């Protein structure tokens, strides 16, 4: 902490001291502010839980116990974390490149369909090859699905936010049709696809929990994504296009090429998330395969402020909420609607509190102390 | 530096979470250990306030809780994506009996049950039990529809009937075929229109579908589409035609519109499972389809229609009922 | 045969209108906020809250009018919540909208459970159908257009009003400027913040009315998650309608008609997979966006918070 810029004795010295501290520790302060917002939401939740006649302390202890306190819950939380991470990476890399992709949900479904086609219908492959091909299929299908919106943007200048959103609905209806018709498991009474073969399934990496190797793929993806974005020429170009299109044009960057890369990676990452969820956790396509991971991914990316640590923390928060609220229901009997209320409050409070963080970073970095 | 500090905070938090939880967990568990209460976990795919399939099961569960002093827990709105995790959580939390109340949970339960051979699993409304620690209890899902079809065939004046389902699943199709063949057995001139809403959760669509078939001439509507039933019954009421409810007795919603309901007693599955578990008289590893004979399926009382239904209709219904019990009428196809 | 087809067409069109009105209320709500440059991703949650409070008012206070008033108040509050976070706090409109959706689902379900302890049927009072004298007697059109409840007529009136407002009044043009180019509007003396707050207030009320329409005219019951995703469809309709009130009307009608057609085709026993029918409006929205069905352009300052320089 440098003392030199302080003017001793002046009225603003405490304020100035604070700003210097804040500038050097913006990360910690952001996390603290978000935590405070969560605590506030939980406090309101506690009042509601108490009104419902349940001990809030006990209820919240189940939230933590269910998501961290035992081996299985811990594994489950990290398993839920996987698709959330993929969805948020998908959103972030596109956002950084100036492409607003809210279509991760649909890309997850279509990616999973791609993985299903390879994983269930191509047999007699050694596992390593089969898994690789299945993952690849997920990536390619997701990328192609995002590509529809991408090409419409590149060639017709069509708004991708709207198109990716429309594609979510189309994807879900399409999958519904497929599992009612061509891809229905003929041995089953009900509408589900055939399961993927065991050679295409991801192994469990933490025994006696559902945690599968997709976790490692997710962690690798986050490293790769941010390496590409911040350490490679193409990443630099993507960020330039995202930050200032006009400057990118002046700099002679190939806008179409860069946008294409962004579209392929954003769709591919979401599709990969769908493939990994299919190969590691669910094995069959069902209606409601993704309970909104794609939409949660947007929340995760924005809450995580598009940086790797932030995204990991935010994805963990969403995973904890998903898993822990189940435990609150089972353990303390907190009714489902209340959990939904608490979840909504957490999202609103955390996002609203990001106002303080922006304000702080503007003031301190802008040097207007 | 910045990132490092965030990670540090996170590690500390993580540490506190994990460190303080076991301490809190212990006092909660001691009383259950001491009295050796049986712990039962139940999983619903919808809300327990659906005024039908899940709510009947929930009420039965509460009744059983009183009866045997059980330690009961349940989780609502469990998606197909989460079901396996919820099953495993219950199993690893040491629950004695885990009941999944939904047809679509059949496969996941059989899969997870193999991993926990010491825990008992049951699928209420399921159709397969692959392991010695799984039992599946369900209605036949066609016998009550057959009775409803018989009544509708005898009561229709326009010779047009309609059945509304939520999906076109094989189970729905078997209900439709059952309803249709029963109606036509009584009255060969009857035509039965089948429509589906595509959702168990859309009350407005149930109403619109019903309105459409009423416009098409149907004067009795057999409604079988989850909460859509309430919309369908409203449509029948507004248009002055009759409705036959399903799953549970729905006469209370519109006493002068709902002639009767094809009762499937979803609550009874829960009772059969829990009674069977407590009294050890239910054989695990089996699938129990239960119907009219077992008293699981029936037509609900006629209530306000008691005097409006001719005695000969009641006699014919009774004969069909007996034929079903005697096995003279066999399950219709599910295609 | 001809009479049969005619009858089917009447049923289908009347059904399509009933299915499209809740979308249209919410869609107009989405339109107003987007004109002022704010995405209303909270439409679904606002609709659901409107549906519940309208039902609650009608059931407990005994009059659908009181239900309607409650729905307006709740809608206004939710609109202001989204307004405060996106205008004053300048945080992500999209995520707050998603949060309102989750909060709305939880809140309405929880209140409904508190209310529904007894398990008896709580049926609220509905607004009656008011056939318009003379007009309702016209064959075909009478039944399709002039035999509805008053909320349907009001909704059509709102389309005319909103369209006129945005195109023919100074305030309406100011609104557009706020959404298109707030810097210019600001220097011309338009109070950006105030206009955006008003837009969010109206947007919330209209979305809430869309939900209220369901429980005050369509079904006398409340069920958890009653709106079942209609708010999201309304959001799509704003774009398909090219940010224009008449366009939104047509788009909502298209969504309603596709849904009604899906049902009607079943009644007529044609074997088309219904999923494909349901996809049509979304694909059309994409085509519209891409200029294939006429060019759509979103207000230029959409989604961007305004900071006074």
User: What is the tens place of the pLDDT at every residue in A207-220?
Assistant: 988 999 999 999 99
Q: Please answer yes or no on whether A177 and C273 come within 8 Å at the CB atom.
A: yes
Longest dimension (CA), chain A: 82
> Domain for residue B3, yes or no?
no
Cα C133 to chain centroid distance, Å, stands at: 28
In angstroms and rounded to an integer, the radius of gyration of the C-alpha atoms of chain C is 20
The total domain count for chain C is: 1
List C-alpha distances in Å: B111 to A121, A203, B43: 21, 16, 16
Q: Does C209 touch chain A (CB under 8 A)?
A: no
Spatial separation of the C-alpha atoms in residues C202 and C28, rounded to whole Å: 9
C227: closest chain B residue by CA: B202
Do residues A298 and A316 lie in contact, with contact meaning Cβ atoms separated by under 8 Å?
Answer: no
The pLDDT value recorded for residue C121 is 57
> Domain for residue B18, yes or no?
no
> Domain for residue C12, yes or no?
yes
Residue B238 pLDDT more than 60? Answer: yes
Q: Please answer yes or no on whether A289 and B80 come within 8 Å at the CB atom.
A: yes
> Domain for residue C165, yes or no?
yes
Do residues A79 and A281 lie in contact, with contact meaning Cβ atoms separated by under 8 Å?
Answer: yes
The pLDDT value recorded for residue A229 is 94
Spatial separation of the C-alpha atoms in residues A238 and A245, rounded to whole Å: 10
Residues B248 and B272 in one domain: no
Residue B296 is classified by DSSP as S
Which of B21, B47, B106 is closest, CB to CB, to A61? B21
Chain B positions touching C264 (Cβ under 8 A) are 212
Token reading at B141: 């899902």
The 10s digit of each residue's pLDDT in B101-132 is: 998 899 899 999 999 999 999 999 998 999 99
Query: Helix, strand or coil for residue A137?
Result: helix
pTM for the model stands at: 0.84
Q: Domain limits at C163?
A: 7-117+151-289
CATH of residue C21: 1.10.3470
Spatial separation of the C-alpha atoms in residues C128 and A186, rounded to whole Å: 49
Chain A positions touching B74 (Cβ under 8 A) are 329-330
Calculate how close chain B gets to A52, using CA atoms only, in Å. Answer: 16
Contacting partners of chain A (3+ CB pairs under 8 A): B, C
Spatial separation of the C-alpha atoms in residues A247 and C236, rounded to whole Å: 33
Spatial separation of the C-alpha atoms in residues C210 and C74, rounded to whole Å: 12
Which of A71, A189, A333 is closest, CB to CB, to B127? A189
What pLDDT band is residue C269 in, cutting at 50, 70 and 90?
Answer: low
**Residues ≥6 apart with Cβ < 8 Å to A216:** A205
Residues B258 and B273 in one domain: no
Q: Do strands B298-299 and B258-263 pair parallel, antiparallel, or not at all (unpaired)?
A: antiparallel
C contact test, residue of B194, B203, B229 with most C CBs within 10 A: B203
Average pLDDT over residues A355-363: 81
What pLDDT band is residue B20 in, cutting at 50, 70 and 90?
Answer: very low
Do residues B223 and B172 lie in contact, with contact meaning Cβ atoms separated by under 8 Å?
Answer: no
Spatial separation of the C-alpha atoms in residues B190 and B333, rounded to whole Å: 19
Spatial separation of the C-alpha atoms in residues C24 and C152, rounded to whole Å: 10
> Domain for residue C129, yes or no?
no
Residues B315 and B169 in one domain: yes
> Domain for residue C306, yes or no?
no
> Domain for residue C135, yes or no?
no
The total domain count for chain B is: 2
Q: Kindly report the CA angle at A119 between A139 and A150, in degrees rounded to 5? A: 20
> Domain for residue B173, yes or no?
yes
> Domain for residue B126, yes or no?
yes
Spatial separation of the C-alpha atoms in residues A296 and A292, rounded to whole Å: 6
Average pLDDT over residues B36-50: 89
Cα C17 to chain centroid distance, Å, stands at: 13
Spatial separation of the C-alpha atoms in residues C215 and A134, rounded to whole Å: 47
Q: Kindly report the length of chain B.
A: 335
> Domain for residue B17, yes or no?
no
The 10s digit of each residue's pLDDT in C105-142 is: 999 998 888 876 655 556 778 888 888 887 877 877 77
Spatial separation of the C-alpha atoms in residues A260 and A148, rounded to whole Å: 11
Give the closest residue to B146 by CA, choosing from B328, B335, B305, B268. B328
Spatial separation of the C-alpha atoms in residues A128 and A132, rounded to whole Å: 6
C228: closest chain B residue by CA: B202
CATH of residue B238: 3.40.50.2300
Do residues A66 and A77 lie in contact, with contact meaning Cβ atoms separated by under 8 Å?
Answer: no
Cβ atoms within 10 Å, residue B3: 12
> Domain for residue B11, yes or no?
no
> Domain for residue B295, yes or no?
no
The pLDDT value recorded for residue B27 is 41
Residue C300 pLDDT more than 80? Answer: no
Strands of B62-105 (E only): list them: 71-75, 97-101
In chain B, pLDDT over 70 holds for what percent of residues?
90
CA dihedral A309, A311, A315, A317 (to 10 degrees): 60
Chain A positions touching B170 (Cβ under 8 A) are 189-190
Residues B284 and B308 in one domain: no
Q: Please answer yes or no on whether A72 and B88 come within 8 Å at the CB atom.
A: yes
* CA count, 13 A, side-chain hemisphere, A360: 22
> Domain for residue C133, yes or no?
no
Token reading at C198: 């008003």
Which of A188, A289, A313 is closest, CB to CB, to B81? A289
Query: Helix, strand or coil for residue B116?
Result: coil
Q: Does C27 touch chain A (CB under 8 A)?
A: no
Residues B253 and B160 in one domain: yes
Residues B177 and B319 in one domain: yes
Spatial separation of the C-alpha atoms in residues A95 and A129, rounded to whole Å: 33
What pLDDT band is residue B69 in, cutting at 50, 70 and 90?
Answer: very high
Do residues B219 and B158 lie in contact, with contact meaning Cβ atoms separated by under 8 Å?
Answer: yes
What pLDDT band is residue A3 in, cutting at 50, 70 and 90?
Answer: very low
> Domain for residue B151, yes or no?
yes
> Domain for residue C206, yes or no?
yes
Strands of chain B (E only): list them: 39-44, 71-75, 97-101, 120-124, 134-139, 160-165, 191-196, 220-224, 242-247, 258-263, 287-290, 298-299
Do residues C21 and C151 lie in contact, with contact meaning Cβ atoms separated by under 8 Å?
Answer: yes
Cα A355 to chain centroid distance, Å, stands at: 21
Token reading at A323: 């898993």
Cα B251 to chain centroid distance, Å, stands at: 18
Q: Domain limits at B133?
A: 28-139+267-290
CB burial of A233-249 (b: ≥16 within 10 Å; e: otherwise) equals: ebbbbbbbbbeeeeebe
Give the closest residue to C165 by CA, choosing from C206, C216, C135, C193. C206
CA dihedral A359, A363, A365, A367 (to 10 degrees): 170
The 10s digit of each residue's pLDDT in B188-223 is: 999 999 988 877 778 888 898 898 899 889 999 999
Residue B165 bridge partners (DSSP):
B196, B224
Q: Please answer yes or no on whether A340 and C105 come within 8 Å at the CB atom.
A: yes
* CA count, 13 A, side-chain hemisphere, B210: 34
Average pLDDT over residues A342-350: 92
**Residues ≥6 apart with Cβ < 8 Å to C307:** C90
> Domain for residue C127, yes or no?
no
Residues B318 and B231 in one domain: yes
Q: Please answer yes or no on whether A354 and C278 come within 8 Å at the CB atom.
A: no
């Amino acid at each position: 902490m440098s003392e030199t810029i302080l003017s001793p004795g002046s009225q603003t010295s405490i304020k100035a001291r604070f700003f210097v501290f804040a500038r050097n520790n913006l990360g910690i302060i952001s996390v603290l502010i978000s935590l405070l917002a969560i605590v506030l939401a939980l406090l309101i939740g506690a009042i509601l839980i108490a009104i419902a006649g349940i001990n809030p302390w006990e209820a919240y202890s189940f939230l933590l116990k269910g998501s961290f306190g035992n081996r299985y819950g811990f594994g489950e939380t990290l398993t839920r974390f996987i698709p959330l991470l993929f969805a948020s990476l998908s959103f972030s890399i596109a956002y950084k490149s100036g492409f607003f992709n809210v279509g991760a949900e649909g890309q997850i479904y279509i990616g999973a369909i791609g993985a299903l086609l390879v994983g269930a219908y191509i047999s007699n492959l050694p596992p390593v090859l089969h898994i690789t091909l299945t993952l690849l299929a997920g990536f390619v299908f997701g990328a192609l699905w995002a590509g529809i919106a991408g090409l419409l943007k590149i060639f017709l200048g069509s708004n991708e936010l709207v198109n990716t959103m429309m594609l979510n609905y189309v994807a879900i209806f399409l999958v519904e049709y497929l599992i009612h018709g061509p891809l229905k498991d003929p041995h089953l009474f009900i509408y589900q696809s055939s399961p993927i073969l065991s050679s295409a399934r991801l192994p469990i990496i933490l025994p006696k929990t559902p945690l599968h190797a997709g976790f490692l793929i997710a962690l690798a993806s986050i490293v790769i994504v941010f390496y590409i974005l911040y350490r490679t020429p193409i990443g630099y170009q993507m960020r330039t296009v995202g930050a200032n299109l006009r400057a990118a044009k002046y700099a002679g960057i190939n806008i179409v090429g860069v946008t294409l890369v962004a579209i392929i990676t954003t769709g591919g990452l979401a599709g990969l998330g769908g493939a990994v969820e299919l190969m590691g956790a669910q094995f069959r396509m069902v209606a409601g395969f993704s309970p909104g991971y794609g939409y949660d991914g947007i929340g995760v990316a924005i809450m995580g402020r598009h940086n790797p640590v932030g995204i990991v923390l935010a994805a963990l928060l969403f995973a904890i909420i998903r898993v822990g609220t189940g435990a609150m229901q089972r353990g303390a009997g907190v009714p489902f609607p209340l959990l939904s209320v608490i979840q909504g409050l957490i999202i609103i409070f955390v996002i609203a509190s990001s106002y303080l963080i922006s304000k702080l970073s503007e003031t301190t970095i802008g040097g207007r102390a | 530096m910045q990132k490092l500090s965030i990670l540090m905070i996170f590690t500390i938090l993580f540490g506190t979470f994990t460190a303080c939880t076991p301490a809190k967990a212990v006092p909660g568990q001691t009383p259950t250990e001491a009295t050796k209460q049986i712990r039962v976990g139940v999983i619903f795919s919808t809300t327990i306030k659906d005024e039908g399939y899940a709510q009947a099961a929930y009420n039965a569960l509460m009744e059983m809780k009183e009866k045997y002093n059980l330690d009961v827990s349940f989780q609502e709105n469990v998606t197909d994506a989460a079901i396996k995790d919820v099953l495993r959580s219950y199993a690893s939390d040491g629950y004695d009996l885990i009941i999944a109340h939904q047809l679509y949970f059949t496969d996941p339960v059989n899969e997870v049950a193999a991993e926990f051979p010491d825990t008992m699993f049951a699928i209420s409304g399921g159709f397969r039990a692959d392991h010695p620690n799984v039992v599946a209890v369900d209605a036949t899902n066609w016998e009550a529809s057959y009775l409803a079809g018989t009544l509708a065939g005898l009561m229709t004046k326009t010779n047009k009937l309609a059945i509304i389902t939520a999906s076109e699943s094989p189970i729905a199709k078997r209900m439709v075929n059952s309803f249709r063949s029963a109606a036509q057995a009584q009255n060969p001139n009857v035509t039965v229109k089948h429509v589906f809403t595509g959702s168990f959760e859309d009350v407005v669509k149930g109403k619109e579908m019903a309105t459409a078939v009423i416009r098409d001439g149907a004067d009795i509507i057999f409604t079988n589409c989850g909460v859509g039933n309430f919309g369908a019954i409203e449509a029948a009421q507004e248009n002055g035609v009759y409705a036959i409810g399903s799953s549970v007795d729905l006469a209370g919603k519109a006493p002068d519109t709902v002639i009767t309901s094809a009762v499937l007693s979803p609550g009874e599955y829960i009772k059969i499972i829990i009674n069977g578990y407590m009294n050890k008289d239910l054989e695990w590893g089996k699938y129990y389809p239960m119907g009219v004979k077992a008293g699981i399926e029936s037509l609900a009382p006629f209530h306000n229609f008691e005097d409006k239904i001719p005695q000969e209709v009641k006699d014919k219904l009774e004969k069909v009922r007996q034929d079903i019990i005697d096995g003279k009428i066999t399950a219709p196809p599910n295609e | 045969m001809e009479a049969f087809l005619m009858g089917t067409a009447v049923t289908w069109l009347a059904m399509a209108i009933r299915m499209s009105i809740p979308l249209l209320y919410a869609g107009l709500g989405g339109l107003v906020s987007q004109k002022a440059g704010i995405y209303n991703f909270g439409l679904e949650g606002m609709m659901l809250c409107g549906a519940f409070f309208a039902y609650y008012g009608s059931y407990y206070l005994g009059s659908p009018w009181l239900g309607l008033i409650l729905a307006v108040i709740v809608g206004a509050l939710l609109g202001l919540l989204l307004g405060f976070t996106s205008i004053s706090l300048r945080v992500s409109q999209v995520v707050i909208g998603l949060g309102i959706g989750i909060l709305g689902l939880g809140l309405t379900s929880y209140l409904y459970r508190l209310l529904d302890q007894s398990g008896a049927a709580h049926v609220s009072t509905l607004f009656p159908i008011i056939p318009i004298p003379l007009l309702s007697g016209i064959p075909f059109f009478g039944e399709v257009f002039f035999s509805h409840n008053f909320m349907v007529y009001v909704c059509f009136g709102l389309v005319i009003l909103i369209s006129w407002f945005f195109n023919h009044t100074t305030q309406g043009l100011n609104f557009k400027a706020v959404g298109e180019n707030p810097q210019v509007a600001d220097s011309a003396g338009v109070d950006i913040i105030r206009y955006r707050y008003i837009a969010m207030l109206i947007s919330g009320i209209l979305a809430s009315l869309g939900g209220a329409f369901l429980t005050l005219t369509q079904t006398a019951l409340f069920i958890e998650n009653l709106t079942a995703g209609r708010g999201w469809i309304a959001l799509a309709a704003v774009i398909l309608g090219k940010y224009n009130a008449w366009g939104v009307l047509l788009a909502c009608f298209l969504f309603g008609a596709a849904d009604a057609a899906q049902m009607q085709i079943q009644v007529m026993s044609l074997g088309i997979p219904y999923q494909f029918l349901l996809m049509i409006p979304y694909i059309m929205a994409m085509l519209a966006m891409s200029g294939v069905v006429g060019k759509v352009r979103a207000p230029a300052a959409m989604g961007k918070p305004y900071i006074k320089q």
